[in-house]
């Protein structure tokens, strides 16, 4: 069997890990357990292993401006299509892969074409930010099976996106580790039997910090995540805990769960990736090493499990797993996240867009770390929320919030 894969954002942290997972799945490294003839006394699967039979074929890869890496990936994986969304790099990409049998597309709209290609089994979305929305929506409208890492489109257009998936016979498999954990734990009961879901969070580099401590945080400190190695935007989001707020909204849409039944728990070891509580009081969790290769692989091999790259957990070496409540006073982003889901309409899009713009300013060294969430809150306070919105209105609210943040930052720099 062959599974044909499109990776949107193949040059980023998730994109590169996905290619590593695919390499392992296609190589003899990976074996899957089969029921042994001499099954064990309790009837569980025996130890014999068989090679993974599915071949994973790359149909298309995309990048924004990492032209050299994209060309290298094209040479290695021989996709039928490559797309560079920043059209300034088209010539450079064309000359770098000119000898290959590959169609080269460019510009933001090229992603829509790639997302809707025929004869594709999985579209894995690993673009960062709202920029991934048109492509993921196009894939949903084409009834594709989506493996979603790129959470921002779900945050800003969760209703439209999940509706498009339902109406066109598609599916969504979560790649985000917490949502993959919830998806796996949910299989222990029926949807009606779930009483709540509990998202875990590492707490990021400033878990123990006070508001005062955070005033002097440097870019370098904010980019040093204690557990996860990720792209810059999500690393900053983890430090502010905006990431967890985005994940609450993501969980709300993915699992059709009212926010009143979503909780966040700080778990610094990042071993328990999230938990589902059922009506009888049973709590089912998914555990594993903090390594994105596992949730990526599960989204690719689902509904099967195969041995893979992830190191197996040795709880006796970890010894202790700890949990604590998040500090909602220090990490204002978290209550704001819950609030914007309750408000609905354009509130989540403003929350996300203001954050994307503020993180960009922080990464460019123009604002302080604490200003990120202050700018987001300020933007939400100024915004007149529209309920029941079209895609155009969502995009307008997105553009408005980005303008607001930029104007405010530039005014404060001039002052
Ligand atoms: P990166 O910044 O590492 O990679 C982003 C990818 O998107 C790159 O391929 C980049 O291309 C491309 N890209 C950037 N801007 C645009 C644009 N305007 N249009 C089209 N493509 C663009 O991000 P991550 O891999 O860390 O994160 C990707 C998504 O996955 C995010 O939504 C994040 O929240 C989510 N996620 C990430 C996790 C992680 O461990 N990293 C864990 C869970 C979720 P180029 O290289 O050319 O810039
Ligand atoms: Mg996550």
Q: For every residue of 334-391, which 3-state class applies, written as one string?
A: HHHHHHHHHHCCCHHHHHHHHHHHHHHHHHCCCCCHHHHHHHHHHHHHHCCCCCCCCH
For the CA of 65, the nearest atom of ligand 1: 47
- pLDDT value of residue 53: 84
**3-state DSSP assignment of residue 129:** coil
Question: Do 93 and 182 sit in the same domain of this protein?
Answer: no
Question: Do 181 and 125 sit in the same domain of this protein?
Answer: no
Where does a domain end: 341, 360, 391?
A: 341
Question: Do 164 and 181 sit in the same domain of this protein?
Answer: no
- Please name the residue that has the structure tokens 């430090």: 239
Best mutation site among 156, 234, 293 for ligand 1 pocket (most ligand atoms within 8 Å of CB) = 234
Q: Which residues are within 8 A (CB) of 143 and not within 5 positions of it... i.e. 6 or more apart?
A: 168, 169, 170
Looking at the domain assignment, is residue 374 inside a domain?
A: no
Question: Which tens digit of pLDDT belongs to each residue from 167-220?
Answer: 999 999 999 999 999 999 999 999 999 999 999 999 999 999 998 999 999 999
- Please name the residue that has the structure tokens 């290769």: 293
Question: Do 156 and 268 sit in the same domain of this protein?
Answer: no
Where does a domain end: 316, 341, 366?
A: 341
Rounded CA separation 133/138 (Å):
8
- pLDDT value of residue 391: 94
Q: How many domains does the chain have?
A: 2
Tokens of 98: 């000119």
Looking at the domain assignment, is residue 355 inside a domain?
A: no
Tokens of 234: 């999500």
Question: Which tens digit of pLDDT belongs to each residue from 300-339?
Answer: 999 999 999 999 999 999 999 999 999 999 999 999 999 9
For the CA of 149, the nearest atom of ligand 1: 30
Question: Do 157 and 195 sit in the same domain of this protein?
Answer: no
Is the CB–ligand 1 distance for residue 214 below 6 Å?
no
What CATH number is given to the structural domain containing 117? 3.40.50.720
Looking at the domain assignment, is residue 141 inside a domain?
A: yes
Looking at the domain assignment, is residue 137 inside a domain?
A: yes
Residue 97 alpha carbon to ligand 2 centre in Å:
34
Q: Which domain holds residue 320?
A: 177-208+248-341
Q: Which ligand sits closest to the CA of 264?
A: 2
Question: Do 315 and 272 sit in the same domain of this protein?
Answer: yes
Question: Do 275 and 165 sit in the same domain of this protein?
Answer: no
Looking at the domain assignment, is residue 400 inside a domain?
A: no
Question: Do 28 and 70 sit in the same domain of this protein?
Answer: yes
Question: Do 279 and 200 sit in the same domain of this protein?
Answer: yes
Q: Which residues are within 8 A (CB) of 392 and not within 5 positions of it... i.e. 6 or more apart?
A: none
Under 8 Å between Cβ of 210 and 252: no
Q: Is the dihedral of CA 29, 32, 33, 34 positive or negative?
A: negative
Is the CB–ligand 1 distance for residue 230 below 6 Å?
yes
Beta sheet of 55-63, edge-to-edge order: 103-106, 81-84, 55-63, 2-8, 122-125, 145-148, 171-174
Best mutation site among 70, 71, 127 for ligand 1 pocket (most ligand atoms within 8 Å of CB) = 127
Q: In this structure, what DSSP letter does residue 228 have?
A: -
Question: Do 142 and 259 sit in the same domain of this protein?
Answer: no
Q: Is the pTM of this model over 0.85?
A: yes
Looking at the domain assignment, is residue 385 inside a domain?
A: no
Residue 63 alpha carbon to ligand 1 centre in Å:
9
| 66-69 LR contacts (CB < 8 Å, sep 24+) | 66/11, 67/92, 67/93, 67/96, 68/96, 69/11
- pLDDT value of residue 131: 97
Tokens of 76: 């290695």
Pairing mode, strands 272-278 and 81-84:
unpaired
Q: Which residues are within 8 A (CB) of 361 and not within 5 positions of it... i.e. 6 or more apart?
A: 367, 371, 375, 405, 406, 409
Q: How confident is the model at residue 30 (pLDDT cuts 50, 70, 90)?
A: low
Question: Do 144 and 108 sit in the same domain of this protein?
Answer: yes
Rounded CA separation 237/226 (Å):
14
Tokens of 16: 């590169």
Question: Which tens digit of pLDDT belongs to each residue from 384-395?
Answer: 999 978 999 999
Where does a domain end: 122, 148, 174?
A: 174
Looking at the domain assignment, is residue 143 inside a domain?
A: yes
- List the one residue out of 164, 71, 90 whose CA is nearest residue 123: 164
Looking at the domain assignment, is residue 386 inside a domain?
A: no
**Neighbour tally for 193: CB within 10 Å:** 14
Question: Do 170 and 258 sit in the same domain of this protein?
Answer: no
């Amino acid at each position: 069997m062959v599974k044909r894969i499109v990776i949107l954002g193949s040059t980023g942290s998730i994109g590169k890990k996905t290619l590593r997972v695919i390499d392992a799945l296609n190589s003899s490294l990976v074996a899957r357990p089969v029921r042994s003839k001499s099954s064990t006394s309790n009837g569980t699967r025996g130890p014999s292993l068989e090679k993974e039979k599915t071949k994973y074929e790359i149909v298309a890869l995309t990048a924004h401006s990492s032209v050299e890496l994209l060309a290298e990936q094209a040479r290695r994986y021989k996709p039928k299509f490559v797309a560079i969304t920043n059209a300034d790099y088209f010539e450079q990409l064309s000359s770098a892969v000119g000898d290959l049998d590959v169609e080269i597309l460019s510009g933001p709209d090229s992603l829509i074409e790639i997302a809707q290609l025929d004869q594709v089994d999985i579209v894995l979305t690993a673009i960062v930010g709202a920029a991934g929305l048109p492509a993921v929506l196009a894939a949903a409208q084409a009834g594709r099976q989506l493996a979603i890492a790129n959470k921002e489109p779900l945050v800003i257009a969760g209703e439209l996106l999940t509706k498009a998936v339902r109406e066109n016979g598609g599916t969504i498999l979560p790649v985000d580790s917490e949502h993959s954990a919830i998806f796996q734990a949910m299989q222990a009961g029926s949807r009606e039997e779930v009483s709540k879901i509990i998202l875990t969070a590492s707490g990021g580099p400033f878990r123990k910090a006070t508001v005062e401590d955070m005033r002097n945080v440097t870019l370098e400190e904010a980019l040093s995540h204690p557990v996860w190695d990720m792209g810059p935007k999500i690393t900053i989001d983890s430090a502010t805990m905006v990431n967890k707020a985005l994940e609450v909204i993501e969980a709300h849409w993915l699992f059709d769960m009212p926010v009143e039944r979503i909780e966040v728990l700080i778990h610094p070891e990042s071993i328990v990736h999230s938990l589902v509580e059922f009506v009888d009081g049973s709590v089912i969790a998914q555990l594993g090493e903090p390594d994105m290769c596992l949730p990526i692989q599960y989204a690719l091999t689902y509904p099967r499990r195969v041995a893979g790259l992830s190191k197996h957990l040795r709880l006796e070496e970890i010894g202790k797993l700890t949990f604590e409540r998040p500090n909602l006073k220090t990490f204002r982003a978290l209550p704001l996240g819950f609030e914007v889901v309750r408000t609905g309409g354009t509130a989540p899009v403003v929350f996300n867009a203001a954050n994307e713009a503020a993180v960009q300013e922080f990464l460019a060294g123009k604002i302080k770390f604490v200003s990120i969430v202050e700018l987001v809150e300020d933007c939400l306070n100024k915004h007149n929320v529209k309920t029941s919105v079209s895609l155009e209105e969502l995009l307008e609210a997105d553009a408005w919030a980005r303008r607001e943040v930029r104007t405010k930052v530039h005014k404060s720099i001039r002052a």
